[in-house]
Each structure stands twice: as C-alpha cells, then as structure tokens.
Amino acid sequence: MPPILVIGNKAYSSWSLRPWILLGAFGIPFEEKRVLLYRDDTRKKLLKLSANGMVPALIDGDIRIFESLAIIEYIAEKYPAKAIWPKNKAARAHARSLAAEMHAGFSALRAHCGANFRRVPKKRELTPAVEADIARLEAAWAHARKTFGGSGPFLFGKFCAADAMYAPVANRIHVYEIPVSKASRAYADALLAMPAYQAWIKDGAKEKWRIEANEYD
C-alpha cells in the first residue's frame, strides 16, 4: 500500500508542495489526502493525522512523519536507489545545508510575499529585509550551480531534494515578479516547467476555496 501524503490547499500550501513535487518527480507512488486550511475544524482534523497538527505529513503504515524536511529524509531512506540527494558526498552535504536553510530561513520573503500559486503575476514593492533575503537566495543558488550544477538546469545538475525545498520560492519569484538575475530566473523557470509542478498548479486552479489572508495585492 503506498504512503499517504497529507497536504493543505494546493493554491496556498507551499510546505505541502515540497514533498509532493519530490514524490511526483521521482515517480514514487503515493496517495494524497487534502485538508482545507484555516477552517474551524482544520486543526482537529490534522491532529488525527499529524503529531503537530500541521501539513504536510506522511503516513506509511504505522509510521507517521511530520515536517517537510523530515518527510524528504524518510523518502530518501526508503528509496535509496533514487537520487533524492546528490550521490557525491560534498554535493550531498551542501544540498542538505541549503535545504535546512530554506526550512529555517527567508522569513521576510515568506511573510511579505505569501504563497499563492494561482496569483496573477504582479509586482509588489519589496522591503529591505525581503531584498536581503533575495540577495542571499541568489548567492546560494549561484554558488551551488557553479560548484555542483554541471550542465543540468538544477542546483546540483539533476533535480534533487534541495530543489524541491526551493520550488515554492520559484513560484514567488514568478507571481510577485521579483527582479532577479537571468541565471536565477532560468533556475526558477526550470522548476516551474517540471511536469510535477505543473500538475500541482493545475489542481490548485480547480480549487474553489479562498484564504483571504493569502490574497495579497
């Protein structure tokens, strides 16, 4: 029986996208269970599925994992034949560092440019703190591409867990028309062109639910 990935609204849940796009990109079978966010019964429903009452969560038989990065690590352990992380030791260590930085950082960007996968692209004035986040983001991407990217379009050449962690940021760059270098935009576009990402966007566009707090001007 395939594992069950518990996710939120596809129009808004950036954390849910991360393991979802990873599973899809590597062709790993799974079932999804969508729980609508920010409703009166949301936390009650999620606490039955996830220890922290949040999305995403992965249910694999009697094993339950919460937090996107922990889910990704579990997937990597369960499917060792798949290059979830780069095979090269140095590249793998750096990929994990970048994934952890994304998990814990870039708070100004996330707060100012909330996740909205069906937002019509439109510029939003950036704060100095957001600009600092973008500068760090571009530096991190450029270093990874130069050091480990080779001829592939992703941070470490081929798509891996680190790219899955940054997929929602690629969407923010697109829908908020955030000015970045050509190299950064090319990387973001490579993520946005992935079939798994496009499938997520298609599903999100069909959702009828709106979360007004995420509908930024």
> The sheet that has 57-60: what strands, in order across it?
31-34, 4-7, 57-60, 63-66
The answer to whether the CB of 106 falls within 8 A of the CB of 169 is: yes
3-class DSSP assignment, residue 67 = coil
The domain spans of the chain are 4-82, 89-198
Tell me, what's the pLDDT at 164? 98
Q: Residue written as tokens 């000015």?
A: 179
Specify the CATH class of 4-82 in words.
alpha beta
Q: What is the DSSP string of 75-130?
A: HHHH-TTS-SS-SSHHHHHHHHHHHHHHHH--HHHHHHS---TTPPP---PPPHHH
Tell me, what's the pLDDT at 92? 98
Half-sphere exposure for 214 (CA within 13 Å, toward CB): 21
Q: Residue written as tokens 């566009």?
A: 205
Beta-bridge mates of residue 7 = 34
Check if 4-82 and 89-198 are the same fold.
no
Report, at the CATH architecture level, how domain 89-198 is classified.
Up-down Bundle (1.20)
Distance in angstroms (rounded) separating the CA atoms of residues 45 and 135: 39
DSSP designation for 7:
E
Exposed/middle/buried for 104, CB within 10 Å: 0-12, 13-18, 19+?
Answer: exposed
Sequential pLDDT tens for the chain (217 residues): 999 999 999 999 999 999 999 999 999 999 999 999 999 999 999 999 999 999 999 999 999 999 999 999 999 999 999 999 999 999 999 999 999 999 999 999 999 999 999 999 999 999 999 999 999 999 999 999 999 999 899 999 999 999 999 999 999 999 999 999 999 999 999 999 999 999 999 999 999 988 887 787 6
Contacts of 140 (CB under 8 A, 6+ apart): 98, 101
Q: What is the DSSP string of 116-170?
A: -TTPPP---PPPHHHHHHHHHHHHHHHHHIIIIITTSSBTTBS--HHHHHHHHHH
Beta-bridge mates of residue 63 = 60
Global pTM? 0.96
Distance in angstroms (rounded) separating the CA atoms of residues 151 and 133: 27
Q: Residue written as tokens 């609204």?
A: 9
Tell me, what's the pLDDT at 213? 76
